[in-house]
Structure 1
Amino acid sequence: MRPVIPYVTAALLFGLGVYGVLRRRNAVLVLMSVELMLNAVNLILVTADTTARAVLPHSGQVFALFVIVLAAAEIGVGLAIVLQLYRLRATVAVDDVPLTESPDPVTGREPAVVDSEAGR
């Protein structure tokens, strides 16, 4: 087997995943793009394991197994965050998420913005 074909395929998958992370607005699609990038890394690890088997036997497959476990944990935590975001904001758009203030847990409303110049 020529190892160039899986490496090029993995590079294309990883590039498609990066494009999805940078361009998508939906948090679920961003998570899917991250999973696509992790699968591209798995393809590289398994291909490297088959081409360099004499150096370290089955090390690429073991690392791929660790990446699969990491991807499963990432999806579990990521989907929990997305569901909580949907419950609070009624949207899963990444652009609508404020990174500085959180809503009041009792009322669910945004905190009032206090102008520091007007308060003096």
Structure 2
Amino acid sequence: MLTIGTIVMGAEDVRRAAEFWGGALGYVPRDGEVDDDWTVLVPAGGGPGLALGRSVTPVQERPRVHLDLYAADAEEQAAEVARLVALGARHVDWDSYPEDPDFVVLADTEGNRFCVIDATHG
């Protein structure tokens, strides 16, 4: 059976992206250091890694694939959104929010979109 080993994201500045995602997720470079063109970040306790590869293609306004990061509840979601913004993420104007959303759309330091989900939301 196959499992997801690594999620790959493009980045214009791999070092900046690695600093953001390392801080956001508590991941560390698999090989102990970050390269200018490619790095893989891994969690301490196992699970999928996050690979960052240098890319010059523009970020998609509406990406077909993105990360959903789960928070335990609405309070944790708000705290995590604030922490991620402090690390360099930014809020994205998202015209497709439902009336009572369980997610907040952010962009990382490279403009890649991701969501922070309240896992207890209805």
TM-score by length of 1: 0.24
Bigger radius of gyration, 1 or 2? 1
Structure number with the higher helix fraction is 1
Bigger relative contact order (CA 8 A; separation at least 6): 2
